[in-house]
Structure 1
Amino acid sequence: MKRTRFGRTALAMAALAATATACGDDGTGATGGGGDDGSLTVWLMDGSAPESWVAELNEAFEREHGVEVTVEIQQWDGIQDRLTTALSEDGTVDVLEIGNTQTVGYAATGGLTPLDAHLAGQPWNDAMRSSAEVDGTLYAAPWYGANRVVIYDRSIWAEAGAEVPATREEWIDALEAIEENTDAEPIYLPGQSYYVLGGFIADEGGDFAVADGDGWRGALDTPAGRAGMDFYAELQAFSTSPTDNDEASPQQSTEVIPNQEVASWIGLGWEAAGAAAAIEERGGEADFGYFPIPGTTAERPGHVFMGGSNLAVSERAGNREMAVKWLRMATSREWAQRFVDALDGGVVPARTDVTAEPAPGSFAEAMVRSADVGWLPPLTTGWANVETEPNPIKELMTAALDGGDYAEAAEAADDEITTRINRE
């Protein structure tokens, strides 16, 4: 997954609870080498796992197998180049963490070990499992997920008499009440938050692109695409945000929310924490509440992009047998439950037999309630080409919000998506 998007933010969600440490890291992640018969090298991303969990897992593994485990923490900057290099060399790394939308690309190039024979029958979350499979073969173990929720200012909502919504219709009613009864911006919504749009399109049964024979084609010029964009535009009309920016430009949590009177916004756990800290630095006090992005009915929340990470074994691992055993232990029910517990339920478990029990009223509670409606963009090696700037989905959104003809803009976006997604 792209570092500048959910790849980084999902992992930083875990970092709110703990900071990971390990031996052998020089700050760049370019350390050490793969294991041999008596050792194992594991790459984890900065902020992914609590120190206590890593230490206890490795101690248990070493007691059982007599193999020393070295965990090397990798920084996000330049990680794709380092992963590509490591997976093309013998013995550089044994087990590695990979963003969930990156997995299919590394598997397709032959860099990852097939794991079906070792992880058959595990009860994975459906959306997370799909990110670890290529043509029905499992190339990684889902580790954890995280997603966006609606973050709202309790005091502004109370002033407006607005109620927490369970449906899209109720959401609009609440924003109208805030607009009529307060001076606050009802919702801050950038014009180009395309993963939010993707969830709305998924609510309508659509997607950014669909399989077409041996390839893919763009699918925005469809009833589902139009309906998703129409609802996005309905929400965005309550916002003063420009139509040509995204949530990172400017950074909504630290550059927008602390400096404006905003009643609600859509964000990630690390963003909520960052906004609260920035407000406190200015002498204020954040009074945030959280609820899942509402769906079309009260029966279930709206679809959300389920970012997160998978654990994989390098095809060129120096100790593949032990690497598979470490991965299997790390993602077992026992250690997956310990992982979630160590983070106070702050991630969505990858296994359906693991329970997340976050504090009532917390961001994590709202996030976990959306776990069953997790959504991912097309899982194909060409998807990264679509996200490259200028992103055709973002350009479509701005055009539609600025009053352009949706069908014309969507047709152009679909042509560009089709060209890019089928390019290796």
Structure 2
Amino acid sequence: MKRQLIAAVGVAAMVVGVAACGSSSKSSDDAGSYKGKTVTMWLMSGSAPQAWQDGVKADFEAQYPGAKLNIQIQPWDGIGQKVNTALSDGSVDVLEVGNTQTSGYASTGGLMDLTSDKADLGGNDWPANLNASSVFEGKQYAAPWYFSNRVVIYNKALWTKAGIAAPPTTLDEFYGDLDKLKASGVANPIYLPGQEWYTYFGLIAGDGGTIAKQNGSQWVGNLESPEAKAAFATYQKLQSYSTAPKDKDEATPAQSTLFPQGTIASMIGLGWEAPAPKDMPADNVGYFPIPGQTADKPSGVFLGGSNLAAAADTKNPTLAKGLLKIALSDKYEGMMASAGLIPNKTSLDSLANTPFAQAALKGAAVGATTPNLPNWSTVENPPAPIKEFMTAVLQGADYDTAAKQYDTQITSLLNQKQ
């Protein structure tokens, strides 16, 4: 899988206001009136394989004779402002949006309300946890497209040398294996930086908690909850087996560049972070879900990914919805699954048959997305209070005191005026 695809997963651009200029019914592109019309579709760099793009284009133009599909690939850097502009000036009809960005664009009126079209798009088969980020204030403003989540990536040679025959299935087994790896002389039984908040988020979700919660009319930080505290204890214990910096995230330095050096026994990462065969033989790289308390349920994970949406001001609403139906069909979702991603229907999971995807699917079943709030990106972006909180506690701050302090910051960010 391409690095850009998964690197973009879970990275939210700052969403600013979009002034909605009209409604999705401002033109009538009924059957027979497609000649000369062009639908512009924006996809993000690294997301859709070329075969997917070519197939969708061919099927769309065959189904709507005379219409053309113009697929444009956009970089993730700076995409927030670019999307806002395009939704305002009508230069895009259908677009990929990160699942942590969707509510921001929906809240400003930039996305078409697809509530009445959900069933026709295949929505009756979308799992609730995959569809959650496409819904804002009870309405369907996008459709889940693809997802991925973190798993444990491990160096089989180091595990074998330590006398470990099979991957762990519970956290206690995992701790025991990390002890064996440490005893065998491995400096990093697991490489886990202090600010890898996506993993912490997943641990909270796996314990039935949330990183923020609704309190009356407000959303508030929830680090003070028992679930968040218990999840951090797990994170802290795992991090104790690592020499990774407590004040950096997984990209600083990039753990994907460190793992192929052969001195790290395991890390928690996405598929693109696993070493390429040229850097480490594929048969020496293994994958397993982040273990949970019991063997029948892995730890929760952050579900990163992208949704597909239509612009509220598209001049071709029928064509835009038709394109969504094609792109979201089992045929093309199957292509995404075959690329190692998690599709939007569990009925297609068997097609996600890479070693990474098989491990990721087990965690995805208990995965969650971030709170579906327009202001959520302000929590992820600098000063990134969750990251600062994690570093503070790992460096010795009292958990309860720090949680109260940073919950106040999170609450302020979530409720500030747009």
| TM-score normalised according to structure 2 size | 0.88
Decide which of 330, 335, 341 is 2:332's aligned counterpart.
335
Contact 1:62-1:68 within 8 A present in 2 as well = yes
Post-superposition CA distance 1:73-130 (Å, at most 9, x none):
111222111101001113x011000001100000000000011111225311222200
The answer to whether residue 407 in structure 2 is matched with residue 414 in structure 1 is yes
Pick from 158, 161, 169 the counterpart of residue 163 of structure 2. 161
Give the aligned residue type for 2:383.
P
Size of the aligned set, in residue pairs, is: 388
Deviations 1:126-174 (A, max 9, x none): 2220000012210001101011100001011011112311111111011
Runs of 4+ residues deviating >4 angstroms: 3-7
1:319 corresponds to = 316
Secondary structure (helix, strand or coil) at the match of 1:228 reads helix
Structure 1 100/36 Cα, relative in aligned 2: closer, same or farther at 3 Å?
Answer: farther
Give how far 1:181 is off: 2.2
Paired with 2:383 and 2:99, the residues of 1 have a C-alpha distance of 23
Contact 2:219–2:414 (Cα < 8 Å) also in 1: yes
Secondary structure at the counterpart of residue 347 of structure 2: coil
Equivalent residues of 1:192, 1:398 under 8 A apart = yes
**Alpha-carbon distance change, 339 to 233 in structure 1, aligned in 2, over 3 angstroms:** closer
Following superposition of structure 1 onto structure 2, how do residues 146-225 of structure 1 map, counting pairs within 5 Å? 146-162=148-164, 163-225=166-228
* Residues 205, 367 of structure 2: 8 Å contact kept: no
Unaligned runs of 5+ in 2: 12-33
Report which stretch shifted further, 195-204 or 98-107.
195-204
- Asked if structure 2 preserves the Cα contact closer than 8 Å seen for 1:356 and 1:368, the reply is no
Deviation at 1:176, TM superposition (A): 0.7
Retained in 2: the 8 A contact 1:119–1:328?
Answer: no
Q: Assess, with a 3 A threshold, how the Cα gap between structure 1 residues 97 and 106 changes in structure 2: closer, same or farther.
A: same
Aligned to 2:46: 47
CA, structure 1 residues 359+340, in 2 after alignment: closer, same or farther (shift >3 Å)? closer
Do the aligned residues in 2 keep the contact of 1:206 with 1:225 (CA within 8 Å)?
yes
- Displacement of 1:413 in angstroms is 0.7
- 5+ long unaligned stretches in structure 1: 12-34
Matched, 1:252 2:246: no
Mapped partners of 1:338, 1:240: distance in 2: 39
Could you say what secondary structure the match of 2:291 adopts? coil
Q: Is the 8 A contact 1:7 1:307 kept in 2?
A: no
> Matched residue of 1:380: which SS?
coil
* Kept after mapping to 2: 8 A contact 1:349/1:356: no
Query: Could you say what secondary structure the match of 2:350 adopts?
Result: coil
Deviation (angstroms), 1:37:
6.0
Partner of 1:22: none
State the percentage of identical aligned residues. 42
- Partner SS, residue 224 of structure 1: helix
Distance 1:208 1:293 in 2: 19
Determine the structure 2 residue equivalent to 1:355: 349
* Residue identity matched to 1:363: F
> Which residue matches 2:93?
94
Q: Is the 8 A contact 1:333 1:353 kept in 2?
A: no
Verify: 1:401 aligned to 2:394, yes or no.
Answer: yes
Deviation at 1:388, TM superposition (A): 2.0
The alignment's TM-score, normalised by the length of structure 1, stands at 0.87
Any conservation in 2 of the 1:10–1:145 contact (CA below 8 Å)? no
